[in-house]
Amino acid sequence: MKRGRKKVLIILGILLCAAVVALVFFNIPYSPTKTEFNRLICSIITETDKNTGVISGDDIAGLPTPLQDYFRDCGYIGIPKMTYAKVVYHDVDFWFSEDNPKLKIDYTQYNFTGEPTRVAYIDSSLYGIPFEGLDAYADGHGSMKGVIAKLHTLFDQSGEAMDKASLVTYLSECLLIPSVALEDYIIWQEIDDTTAKATLSYYGETVSGIFTFDPQNETVTFTTDDRTQIATDGTTKNVTWCTVSSDYQDANGIKKPTGFKAIWKYATGDLVYFDGKGQLIYDTEE
């Protein structure tokens, strides 16, 4: 009887020690995923040629009318050309899919000019256990990795569908860093006074989408059928994808959006799976 009780106490002691160790580990700043994100960003910044000069009227002369109005009315004419942009989000409402519960995440992304490149880091938790994600597109290859408890990979997606999805995501955000919109690999087509089509060709892949603009000449939506939905188990589905930019605020003479949504437009209704507020910062402002 005493031996049994002693064994139970030993097991409980081991479990308690393991729980304390896990709690301490989860709360220390160390994170292999975040370290990888920071390493990637530093490497890309070092390798990316810095833009020089300013955005001029000549740069936008051949663009569709609504796009020219966007550059002028949002304050981009006469400012230094950007090499990269950083967007920092806090407490974003995020869903992996219709069947999963909502998460609160912090999300930090970098978009670069020159070769299409985009890297983002997700910081969240599942039932008190750290959950992190690394979303990357570089050298024509896209990937999405999810890590729980800092060390255990839940999913790690790559492949042709991810490459294309990542490239069209980069296109959807080209007006967040307008230097990208001026790149030769994006072809613009005016549809009407408030709508323009953008087609991006790079790495042997071509994607396109439609931008709409409001009466204040602010870009509002981007819509495409070129972004395949990829579930965490790797299955894919063809669904129309849309992003919404809103709540523009003046920052040093430049009107920048602060509200961002990403939406899957199912036949049964829209799923707003990313809904947050973000701060947009250019390398020329840091």
Give the architecture-level CATH label for domain 31-285.
Clam (2.50)
Max alpha carbon distance in the chain (Å)?
89
SS3 assignment, position 167: helix
Can you tell me the distance from the alpha carbon of 219 to that of 212, in angstroms, rounded to the nearest whole number? Answer: 6
The rounded radius of gyration (Å) of the Cα atoms in the chain is: 22
Phi, psi of 41 (to 5 degrees): -60, -45
Half-sphere exposure of 27 (CA within 13 A, CB side): 7
Can you tell me the distance from the alpha carbon of 69 to that of 276, in angstroms, rounded to the nearest whole number? Answer: 26
Q: What is the pLDDT of residue 3?
A: 52
Q: What is the pLDDT of residue 117?
A: 97
Q: In this structure, are residues 198 and 143 in contact, taking their beta carbons and an 8 Å threshold?
A: no
- List of residues 6+ apart from 195 with CB closer than 8 A: 66, 210, 211, 212, 213
How far apart, in Å, are the Cα atoms of 232 and each of 69, 121, 156? 40, 17, 8
Q: In residues, how long is the chain?
A: 286
Q: What is the pLDDT of residue 29?
A: 52
Q: Return the residue matching tokens 């570089």.
A: 138
Q: What is the pLDDT of residue 35?
A: 94
SS3 assignment, position 53: coil
Of the candidates 231, 218, 229, the one whose C-alpha atom is nearest the C-alpha of residue 74 is 218
Phi, psi of 54 (to 5 degrees): -125, 160
Can you tell me the distance from the alpha carbon of 195 to that of 84, in angstroms, rounded to the nearest whole number? Answer: 26
pTM over 0.85: yes
Consecutive 10-residue averages of pLDDT for the chain (286 residues): 46 36 44 94 94 95 97 97 96 83 93 96 89 96 92 90 96 96 97 97 97 97 93 82 97 95 94 96 91
DSSP secondary structure string for all residues of 55-99:
--HHHHTTS-HHHHHHHHHTT-TTSBPPSEEEEEEEEEEE-SSTT
Can you tell me the distance from the alpha carbon of 221 to that of 191, in angstroms, rounded to the nearest whole number? Answer: 14
Of the candidates 83, 87, 81, the one whose C-alpha atom is nearest the C-alpha of residue 46 is 83
Domain ranges of the chain: 31-285
Q: ∠217-223-227 over CA atoms, to 5°?
A: 145
Q: What is the pLDDT of residue 25?
A: 37
54 DSSP 8-state letter: B
Structure-block tokens of residue 207: 């994607």
